[in-house]
Amino acid sequence: MVKLTDEIKESLTGTKIVFLATASKEGTPNVVPIGAFKLLDDETLLISDQFFNKTLKNMKENPKIAISYWGEKGGFQIKGSITLHTNDEVFKQDVAWMKELRPNLVPKSAVIMKITEVFIVKAGPDAGKKIL
């Protein structure tokens, strides 16, 4: 696992929407915009699942995902491995968080992403460069 820098954490927490990429076991890609996510610590991201269908199926088949975003403070691509939680303390914490954030949404599962790599997405000579 890698630890996010302050710059990356600040840019991510200032972003409202990220794009979550998954792939099926056959390699068919899927990308969806998500807004229910937060950093749990320097190495871990929580993604709350209210609407995942293909995305959830893909994560069950292939636990590797990526998110990409661009916000006011820049952007990055973050890759990692996930675990799904549906009936444990992690899931209960996700449900409580969503009740505060968006009371009309009910989580189906909590996705915990352990961050393994980070890449630059901004234009220029370092575009696509792995930084963590």
CATH, residue 114: 2.30.110.10
Residue 111 pLDDT class (50, 70, 90 cuts): very high
Nearest to 115 by CA among 76, 73, 66: 66
Which whole number is the average pLDDT over 100-127?
94
Total number of domains in the chain:
1
Neighbours of 52 (CB within 10 A): 21
Residue 61 lies in a domain: yes
pTM of the model: 0.94
- Residue-level pLDDT at 14: 87
Residue 91 lies in a domain: yes
Residue 42 lies in a domain: yes
Separation between Cα atoms, residue 39 and residue 65, nearest integer Å:
16
Residue 129 pLDDT class (50, 70, 90 cuts): very high
- Position 10, amino acid: E
Residue 51 lies in a domain: yes
Residue 22 lies in a domain: yes
